[in-house]
Structure 1
Amino acid sequence: MNSHPEIDETDRRILRALRRDGRLSNTKLAEQVGLSTTPCWNRVRALEERGVIEGYTALLNQQALGLPDTVIIEVTLERHDDDMLIKFGQGLSELPEVMEAYLLTGDYDYLIKVAVAGTAGYEEFLRKKLYKLPGIRHSRSTFVLRCLKRAHSVEP
């Protein structure tokens, strides 16, 4: 049995509107989804409390921050014991250039998305940061030429 109440079509309209613009006022959101303000506010609050809405954030422009290039790095570790995975994962989470990091199945242990400033920034990131983390056996990197789609959550 599902421990969470179902997400109905009204909730989905709310989620789609907030996904497009997380700064919508409750009044504008209610207008867009066809509710009055109090029921709309109650639904948003319930979605937040249930963890459907995890939070709100500002999207920052990489280029404007001086890190216009994205590199995808695949990493294999020397060992796969819990201690190594924990240390490596914690180290990755502390690197500000790392935008996303995933523990994987398959040929590589991690897939890491990193923001850098060109090949010089990439080399500096590798030498001074990534390769200082414990346990790396092998890595393979690919520069992103163009982003074709970027979504920060699934479409409800």
Structure 2
Amino acid sequence: MFPENNQRGIKQKQKEITVIVGNPPYSAGQTSENDGNKNIKYEKLDERIADTYAKYSTATLKNSLYDSYIRGFRWASDRIKEQGIVCFISNGSFIDNNAMDGLRKCLVDEFTSIYCFNLRGNQRTSGELSRKEGGKIFSSGSRATIAITLSIENLDKK
């Protein structure tokens, strides 16, 4: 329908990408347009998550592995192939969430070095734990734990 745009997309997919920096969206549990950021089904990407993160997860319920920010991790890991850097500011629930054990295992297997800065900020807690979390990150913009994750894949170091 848009030949120029299609050609640009084809060229872009053929280029080697070695650095991906971003802030993937968080949209767990959103199911309709009224939720503001409805989850979209990505068949190939979801298959990759099933073959990797879900396969190695010991959790019974694995729905959270298909959150869009986790899809961002899977896509970026696959896109840089054997060498590159992925840096995301994202929801930090993957740091200690039981369902994310498969994701953590795969990140360790797929990257040479990982630096994860847990900014904390989980305001879904209460009392002393909430105080220790230090308040919301990004002013009133987030109630979730925020993490900055720098993942480096260096083929020469393996």
Q: Which band: TM-score by shorter chain?
A: under 0.3
Task: Work out which of the two has the higher radius of gyration on C-alpha atoms and give 1 or 2.
Answer: 1
Which structure: greater helix fraction?
2
